[in-house]
């Protein structure tokens, strides 16, 4: 999260009992939910992944915040326009991930009402992409960071009962807002949620993350209609591949309340992971490591790890663990920052990196979604200029499209 933000320089027993009553009452009413709409296609994993193709993140916009309040222009980007989304589609992207923060736009207990104007704006931006025929992923993004002012979805907080109640109520509102959208809208439970420590996960905190994912699945499903059948996307610890695949505590949520129209042999849950390895190439803001892969010409500028063999092993582990069992994988973020100020050949290796990730994702039946923060200067991830809707990194876009073919 920090690396994306700084690109601009810039409960008591009574509460538990109350939550139980409210949850129970709401659950009993869910049976009267609206039916699945006629335009909703019930796609299997083998169908939806090819349709999603290569994806692009509308980063640093609806998750941007100032003093704990989300605002789409808070981190220097202009207001999102339909023209930008059309340009992204024209470049060949078939999926747009729209990170969304809520934070101070959520009201107080017990209702935790989401600000109507903010949720309406989220819907408007979703519609820009959805109406273009693109797949759209929306999540709760910045609310799960200890480092973000107003962050509350915190696995290491002592107040888990209140957090879970709030989380359930926010997702209930989001899900109801979009209940009639067809299968091209995918909900992602949260973003890079963890306790801020990059070592092995704390097992108790991981259990909290698993609980959030379960609440998310149950809550969305119980709103009925298309939400009872759409694909849902969930992450493991900090969207880290090793901590999701390995024996660190990740638990797949059950999907008890999904539509009875889905055959029992089919899944409707996807797994989210992010890929920025090696970090010294992809994210560190200095000129030490500017090249990547087998075509690197200067060994001193190439990382000692995280090359093609590492990428292969990481993606294969996700494939073996999840894809083979019917759970598709979405590489919800990947990319490498612009270091051409230090090495004029850097974009060649950024493109090679992007192509390798996209190609490996295609080989292992995953969806690669490039992280674009809208910034095209030094250390930026931008592929487009959002002020004039022009392409700024055609070479990287070409590489992504060649990889996914």
The answer for residues whose C-beta is within 8 angstroms of residue 365's C-beta and 6 or more apart is: 45, 46, 49, 319, 323, 328, 329
Distance CA 300, CA 291 (A): 9
Angle (nearest 5°) at CA 77 between 72 and 78: 80
CB 136 within 8 A of CB 185: yes
Distance CA 8, CA 375 (A): 8
Question: Which residues participate in catalysis according to the annotation?
Answer: 192, 333
Distance CA 300, CA 30 (A): 60
The answer for residues whose C-beta is within 8 angstroms of residue 397's C-beta and 6 or more apart is: 91, 92, 383, 391
Beta strands in 104-249 (DSSP E): 135-139, 185-188, 232-235
The answer for residues whose C-beta is within 8 angstroms of residue 388's C-beta and 6 or more apart is: none
CB 344 within 8 A of CB 298: no
Collapsing DSSP to helix, strand or coil, 70 comes out as strand
Closest CA to 91 of 382, 349, 336, 384: 384
- 405: tokens are 């073919």
* CA distances (Å), origin 205, targets 82, 153, 211, 249, 405: 40, 12, 10, 10, 40
């Amino acid at each position: 999260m920090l690396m994306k933000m700084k690109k601009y320089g810039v409960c008591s027993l009574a509460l538990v009992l109350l939550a139980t009553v409210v949850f129970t009452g709401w659950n009993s009413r869910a049976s009267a939910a609206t039916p699945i709409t006629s335009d909703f296609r019930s796609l299997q994993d083998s169908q939806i992944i090819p349709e999603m193709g290569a994806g692009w993140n509308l980063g640093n916009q609806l998750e941007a915040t100032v003093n704990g309040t989300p605002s789409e222009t808070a981190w220097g980007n202009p207001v999102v326009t339909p023209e930008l989304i059309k340009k992204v589609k024209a470049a060949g992207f078939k999926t747009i991930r729209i990170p969304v923060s809520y934070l101070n736009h959520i009201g107080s207990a017990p209702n935790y009402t989401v600000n109507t104007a903010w949720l309406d704006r989220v819907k408007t931006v979703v519609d820009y992409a959805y109406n273009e025929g693109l797949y759209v992923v929306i999540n709760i993004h910045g609310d799960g960071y200890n480092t973000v002012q107003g962050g509350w979805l915190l696995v290491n907080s002592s107040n888990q009962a209140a957090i879970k109640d709030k989380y359930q109520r926010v997702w209930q509102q989001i899900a109801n807002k979009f209940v009639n959208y067809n299968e091209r809208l995918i909900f992602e439970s949260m973003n890079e949620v963890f306790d801020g420590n990059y070592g092995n996960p704390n097992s108790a905190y991981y259990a909290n993350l698993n609980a959030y994912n379960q609440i998310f699945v149950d809550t969305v499903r119980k709103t009925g209609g298309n939400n009872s059948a759409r694909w849902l996307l969930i992450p493991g610890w900090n969207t880290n591949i090793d901590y999701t695949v390995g024996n660190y505590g990740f638990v797949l949520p059950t999907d008890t309340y999904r539509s009875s129209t889905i055959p029992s042999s089919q899944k409707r849950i996807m797994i989210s992971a992010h890929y920025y390895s090696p970090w010294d190439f992809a994210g560190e803001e200095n000129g030490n490591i500017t090249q990547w892969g087998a075509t690197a010409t200067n060994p001193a500028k190439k990382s000692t790890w995280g090359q093609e063999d590492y990428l292969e092993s990481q993606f294969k582990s996700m494939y073996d663990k999840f894809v083979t069992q019917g759970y598709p994988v979405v590489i919800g973020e990947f990319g490498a920052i612009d270091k051409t100020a230090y090495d004029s050949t850097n974009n060649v290796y950024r493109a090679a990196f992007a192509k390798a990730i996209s190609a490996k994702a295609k080989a292992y039946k995953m969806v690669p979604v490039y992280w674009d923060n809208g910034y095209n200067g030094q250390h930026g991830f931008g592929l487009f200029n959002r002020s004039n809707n022009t392409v700024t990194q055609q070479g990287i876009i070409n590489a992504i499209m060649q990889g996914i073919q």
